[in-house]
Amino acid sequence: MSELSAAFQQFAPRKANAPAVILFSGGLDSTTILALAKDLGYAPYALSVGYGQRHSSELSAAKHIAKKIGVIRHEVVNLDLTRFGGSALTDSSIDVPTTPGKEHEIPVTYVPARNTILLSLALGWAESLGGLDVFYGANAVDYSGYPDCRPEYVASFETMANLATKAGVEAINSDNRFRVHAPIISMSKSEIIKLGNTLSVDYSQTVSCYQANDLGEACGECESCRLRQVGFMQANLSDPTRYQKN
């Protein structure tokens, strides 16, 4: 375990090499989470979901990064949330915004119930593995408009997980209960980048852009790109993101 990861002891495994399922999109935040979970001593199982998002390059990045970091197993589950729409990421008729929205306004890039759907898949896999830990990259600082990235939501889902599963119902004490971890939830983007840099994360391979091209090159204009750019600047690190030439 690295010295920096020691600051995250509250998220450490209750026993060595305990299995943990990490929701893994191939973006900056989830890659940092995956590297942290492994450094803390978990046996990492990475779960990526193709839900009909505008591009598949982040899933290609996820496959490459998962292999490079070293996970026990990487699963890619395909869902078609475009059938429901309701978001700029799942409905091609809604443009991805390139200007900041109003403060505390839920952005048009919010996908209805996405994190609840994804965390439910992660919970099911964790229980089938005999694991009791799920990680995801919720961040309430940079993404304050997303209702499923708040501490209250994380706590509520953890409560639900222990009410809705065989493992949770049969738990003898707190050491046998499910935990839902969101270790970067109160961190700024620059702090997340500094953490990943300490963990030797190669951010040039990650794809965070809402409208990246097939090569994984970022637009440099959407909200996710802007937050990423500011993060590297505030961290005093060069931005390794691959941007579209046009």
* Beta-strand runs (E) in 71-160: 73-78, 133-135
pLDDT at 105: 82
Q: Where are the alpha helices (DSSP H) in 17-113?
A: 28-40, 57-69
CATH for 58: 3.40.50.620
Angle at 29 between CA 27 and CA 31, to 5 degrees: 65
The number of domains in the chain is 1
pLDDT at 143: 59
First-to-final CA distance of the chain = 42
In a domain, 241, yes or no: no
> Which residue ranges of the chain lie beneath pLDDT 70?
1-6, 101, 103, 142-144, 246
| Segments forming the whole domain that contains residue 96 | 16-189
pLDDT at 174: 78
pLDDT at 2: 55
In a domain, 202, yes or no: no
E strand or H helix at 78: strand 73-78
In a domain, 4, yes or no: no
In a domain, 115, yes or no: yes
pLDDT at 203: 97
pLDDT at 142: 61
In a domain, 183, yes or no: yes
Q: What is the pLDDT of residues 12-51, one digit of tens each?
A: 999 999 999 999 999 999 999 999 999 999 999 999 999 9
